[in-house]
A and B are shown apart, each in its own frame.
Chain A
Amino acid sequence: MIDEIGHFALVLALLVALVQASVPLYGAARDNAPLTAVARPAAIAQFALVALAFLSLVHAFVVSDFSVSIVAENSHSDMPLLYKIAGVWGNHEGSMVLWVLILTFFGAGVALFGGNLPPTLQARVLAVQAMIGAGFLAYILYASDPFIRIVAPPDGNGLNPLLQDPGLASHPPCLYLGYVGFSMAFSFAIAALIEGKVDAAWARWVRPWTLLAWCALTIGITMGSWWAYYTLGWGGFWFWDPVENASFMPWLAGTALLHSALVVEKRDALKSWTILLAIVTFSLSLIGTFLVRSGVLTSVHAFAVDPRRGVFILGLLTIAIGGSLALYAARAPRLAPSGLFAPVSREGALVFNNLLLAACAATVITGTLYPLFVDALGETKISVGPPFFNLTFTPLMVPLLIAVPIGPMLTWKRADLLGAVQRLWAAGVAALLAVLAGWYIHSRGPVFAVLALGLAAWLVVGAAVELAERLKLFRAPLSESWHRALHLPRSNFATALAHAGLGITLAGVVSTAIWRVERIQTLHPGDVVDLAGYAVRFEGVVPHPGPNFEGQRATLVVTRDGLPVAVMQPEKKHFPVANQDTAETSIHTTGFADLYAALGDPDPRGGWVVRLYYSPLAPFIWFGGAMMFAGGLVSLTDRRFRIGAPARQRARAAVEPRPATAGD
């Protein structure tokens, strides 16, 4: 019964979305206030209906109602509650409902808290948002209905054991929050194109939503990479797998969007480019969702398994991307000409950032989609792996990273590049020292890796110097610096935090990739392995049963110079329901390096294959990601978002825009 209500709610939501997508647009075009006003209640109703459908799906999973097809396929009565709920989005149909839920959540946010938006702009934003919603709701109802009933089997198939992990249970919602969050930037861009007006106020309304989406995507990617690191047992954290690239492409474009929206906001320039970026970012989110969800990635032929889905997806993508680009082509030239600036200026630096990020995104897109094209064209099957991305993505990142600390030092409109670089002398010295230190410690290390460490130091110290300059630290009395710190906009701290985080991540990535020590050996109880100065003694393996798996746990005692360091207990688990094995790695971290152990298979003579890694600076990778995330959050609390955007007319200036999630 509850499932039928959920299904019915989805149908109603589709109808509401259709109304919301059409009536307010007409009303706004005709200056008809009552019709325009339809948008707000419709957006709230649409959210409520989708939430109802989602909750009934959650209910089906929680009570293990196996008469619902996707519950039977993805859940099991033995699973802990957390994974039963995670099972809702651990499958295609349920994840699409989550997608639309987040979409309508953002729509309702604009309806409830966008009170100071001009009514026509708000109506148009909500109408565009509803168009996306209608497309997806139709797709769910037509081609991936989550409420399909079957004759209930005695028990379900269970969730893939690899996915039964707290980190991964929350990873997809974070990614979706990011993907779908960019829909707000998209809707604002389309609405602005319809209105024919883009100004600083517009940018200020768009930025919090973009920031929020960017934060969610950043932490989502960070968590996904952390999960891959500790569960897959390979010690790797990024594989340039198409699935990862699918989330990385919108992240690159979204990062560019964040920076270019800044120029629109502060300097009223780069409008047309920002609109285009908003469209592209959301298009990449759509492509990312579908690459992962449709099965195209595993094979273009998998598309044919359910042609209805494939065709519908392609249709949606074509309409959304083609339509918005066509509108852009028609309307963008009419946007008022941009403010002027010299090539060497803050704006110029942000343009440089945008160009490089766009080029990076383009290489990732090409590498991800090229095998699909080749596969679609003929019999040849190819794959494009890390070497391709190392050769294309990395060289493009280098100039960008060099420029990161310089950008914030430049002044708007026209700047003195030499002066900015001179003020960064401390960062330059630090970078040089890092290179020398890297050279000294790892003299065998490749030159580019040592230089990359220097680049990381340049980023971190550059961010600190930038902040110190603004506070006049050590140049003015400490009390004055303190006073300045209290009054410095939080976005300055946010910039420094995020840019330093980038440097920290870079340091982690480089040293893990280059200086990781690996030992793969068959060990017998009592064997000792030397691992980068640590002595690892293998004590043996004992059975370690769990609620829904059979486990084998090894014990490794780690000492250094005879002093105990850690006891590591990697495990191997066998899940009988899924007939699948997973490995549970054991990681001992010092904060500056990770010791990493994974248990392999037994050999007939009583030994066990054990994989051991010593990864210097590995924790930095995720720590840096968390810093970037924190930077985004701090920026969200910036005064200008709390106090409010300058309204277009002075009269509206008093009202405060309170984006639902800005968290003030």
Chain B
Amino acid sequence: MKPKRKRLIFVTVGVAILGVAVGLMLYAFQGNITFFMSPSDIAADKAKPTGTIRLGGLVEKGSIERGPGALVTFKVTDLSHDIRVVYKGILPDLFREGQGVVTEGKLAPDGVFHASTVLAKHDAKYMPPEVEAALKKSGHWGDADQKKYGAEAGVAMDGQGAKP
């Protein structure tokens, strides 16, 4: 086999693999990107989102109800609008009333959000950046008595602590 032909084979295989990778990524980007929305975004959006979204805000004080079973319901608010969230399972250790939370799931037609995951991607003094942005947008930033939010609090150690 001539060197030229060998090189052609390598280049072809390389390009093919690259092409497959790019194709897979483009395909995966179509259906697997999760958008973040605040309760106000959902209220403003006439066409209610049908796919999986992330809903973030503060856990409304006094809204947590437990049972039956491992079912938990609570309200997520950005202090302008709120949305009722239903979740089955154990809430993360950092889940608390009045604190920021991000939940992932689907909005049912009746306006109740069925969460499949509740993320507490922050430590006790930290506010998820999406929630911070949502509160700023709703004009209630500052009403939420958060002491500190910032770059580092969420990435303590090597950041492993910041996982769901």
Contacts and interface: CB of A to CB of B under 8 A. Distances in A.
A599 B130 CA distance: 29
Interface residues of A, number: 83
A381 B70 contact: no
B152 interface: yes
A160 B34 contact: no
A520 B160 contact: no
A227 B162 CA distance: 13
A234 interface: yes
Contacts of B108: none
Interface in B18-42: 18, 20-21, 24-25, 27-29, 31-36
Contact of A299 (B9, B129, B158): B129
A579 B161 contact: no
A227 B29 CA distance: 30
Interface stretch (A390-398, A423-431, A542-550): A390-398
A92 interface: yes
Contacts of B152: 91-92, 295
A578 interface: yes
A241 B32 contact: no
Contacts of B91: 600-601
A171 B158 CA distance: 9
Contacts of B10: 343, 348, 351
B161 A391 contact: no
A536 to B, nearest CB: 15
Contacts of A195: none
A320 to B, nearest CB: 21
Contacts of A598: 90
B7 to A, nearest CB: 10
A243 B89 contact: no
Contacts, number: 197
Given A396-B21, A579-B124, A603-B66, A297 B33 contact: no
Contact of A582 (B29, B34, B93, B129): B93
Contacts of B29: 370, 384, 388
B155 interface: yes
B144 interface: no
Contacts of A601: 66, 90-91
A609 B90 CA distance: 7
B111 interface: no
Interface in B145-164: 150-152, 154-164
A388 B151 contact: no
A382 B34 contact: yes
B32 A387 contact: yes
Interface string A146-165: 00000000000001101100
A227 B24 CA distance: 31
A583 B120 CA distance: 14
Contacts of B69: 521-522
Interface string B96-126: 0000000010000000000000000101100
B121 to A, nearest CB: 8
B157 A583 contact: no
B158 A583 contact: no
Interface residues of B, number: 55
Contacts of A367: 25
Contact of B156 (A90, A299, A395, A605): A90
A305 interface: yes
Contacts of B43: none
B75 interface: no
A95 interface: yes
A297 B20 contact: no
Given A91-B152, A243-B158, A396 B24 contact: yes
Contacts of A604: 66-67
B32 to A, nearest CB: 4
Given A359-B21, A363-B21, A583-B93, A295 B154 contact: yes
Contacts of B25: 363, 366-367, 392
Interface string B6-22: 10011001100110110
Contacts of B163: 228, 232, 239, 241, 243-244
A534 interface: no
Interface string A574-604: 0000111111000000000000001011011
Given A383-B36, A598-B90, A609-B90, A90 B157 contact: yes
Interface in A343-386: 343, 348, 351-352, 355-356, 359-360, 362-363, 366-367, 370, 380-385
B88 interface: yes
Given A299-B129, A521-B69, A160 B161 contact: yes
B133 interface: yes
Interface string A228-254: 100011100001010110100000000
B6 A387 contact: no
B90 A611 contact: yes
10 contacts: A90-B156, A233-B93, A292-B158, A342-B1, A352-B13, A396-B24, A521-B70, A581-B93, A609-B90, A611-B89
Interface of B: 1, 3, 6, 9-10, 13-14, 17-18, 20-21, 24-25, 27-29, 31-36, 54, 66-67, 69-70, 88-91, 93-94, 104, 121, 123-124, 128-130, 133, 150-152, 154-164
Going nearest first, the 9 A-B pairs with the smallest beta carbon separation are A295-B151, A299-B129, A600-B90, A381-B36, A243-B159, A391-B28, A359-B21, A387-B32, A302-B151
Interface of A: 74, 89-92, 95, 159-160, 162-163, 168, 171-172, 175, 224, 227-228, 232-234, 239, 241, 243-244, 246, 292-295, 297-299, 301-303, 305-306, 309, 340-343, 348, 351-352, 355-356, 359-360, 362-363, 366-367, 370, 380-385, 387-388, 391-392, 395-396, 520-522, 578-583, 598, 600-601, 603-605, 609, 611
Given A224-B160, A239-B164, A611-B89, 18 more contacts: A90-B156, A239-B163, A243-B160, A293-B155, A295-B155, A297-B155, A343-B1, A343-B13, A355-B18, A363-B21, A363-B24, A381-B36, A382-B35, A385-B104, A388-B33, A391-B32, A520-B90, A600-B89
